[in-house]
Structure 1
Amino acid sequence: MKLNVANPATGCQMTIEIDDEQKLQAFYDKKLSQEVDGDVIGMEWEGYVFKIMGGQDKQGFPMKQGVLTPNRVRLLLSKGSVGCRGNLMKNGERRRRSVRGCIVSHEISVLHLAIVKK
């Protein structure tokens, strides 16, 4: 799993690749906008607190806040919502799009984190 760590104070971000399942266990079954301690990733992140901001699964479907499942679901989405770009959509039109639920599972390939506290 790739972890995309953003630092809002400086505006920079970095990508961390983690293959160890024991380190990833701390992220499983967490929801979007929950906080995770940084020392589970590695010693250099000790004392940090991360907030889960989003992610994509292995096929590229985005995680959507409010969908309380770890699976992929098909929702009617309007233009501008997460998972629907709205290209060539008319006013008021809604289309059925696939999105991933807000609970982190083993099928997530990229997880976006923001540093809350150092």
Structure 2
Amino acid sequence: RGSRQALRRAAAMKLNIANPSTGCQKLYEIEDEKKLRTLYDKRLATEVDGSDLGEEFAGYIFKVMGGQDKQGFPMKQGVLTADRVRLMMAKGDQGCRGYGMRKGERYRKSCRGCIISHNIAV
């Protein structure tokens, strides 16, 4: 029983939907696997029809702007994979804060690719 509940819980994805003109945002949690499959294999900066996610979103078009996986690693534009990779990043790169780094110094940091998969949480 516990493994079934864990699988159901793992299928849930949170969507942070924002309206840039008004500045409001709302967090929705979608647990239906059929609705989430419309998001799988989409890349960052692609547009998604809202009616695929549910009737309450009919008539809207959403743009995928970012996300993170279940462990908190951010998605990075330009990394064409759905898996986690370790990249050399300098201070100021997306996903690298750069605290305590010297000029020109780079660290190997983990990040998620730009393709949405079942491992993405938000």
Partner of 1:102: 114
Task: Please tell me the residue identity of whatever aligns with 2:67.
Answer: G
Give the match's secondary structure for 1:59: coil
Runs of 4 or more, structure 1, over 6 Å off, are none
1:43 aligns with 2:55: yes
Report the residue type matching 2:80 in the other structure: L
* Superposition deviation, residue 82 in structure 1: 1.1
- What CA distance in whole angstroms lies between the structure 1 residues aligned with 2:91 and 2:81? 23
Q: TM-score, normalised by structure 1?
A: 0.92
Q: How many angstroms does 1:55 deviate by?
A: 0.1
Partner of 2:65 in structure 1? 53
Equivalent of 1:65 in 60, 77, 81: 77
Is it true that 1:92 corresponds to 2:104 in the alignment? yes
Structure (1/2) with the larger strand percentage:
1
- Percent of residue pairs bearing the same amino acid type: 65
Aligned residues: 110
Structure (1/2) with the larger helix percentage: 2
Aligned to 2:91: 79
SS of the equivalent of 2:21 reads: coil
| Matched residue, 1:113 | none
Give 3-state SS (helix, strand or coil) of 1:108's partner.
coil
- Runs of 5+ consecutive residues of structure 1 not aligned to the other structure: 111-118
Q: Please, which of 33, 39, 45 is the counterpart of residue 45 of structure 2? A: 33
- Mapped pair 1:10 → 2:19: no
SS of the residue corresponding to residue 34 of structure 2 reads helix
| Superposed CA RMSD | 0.5
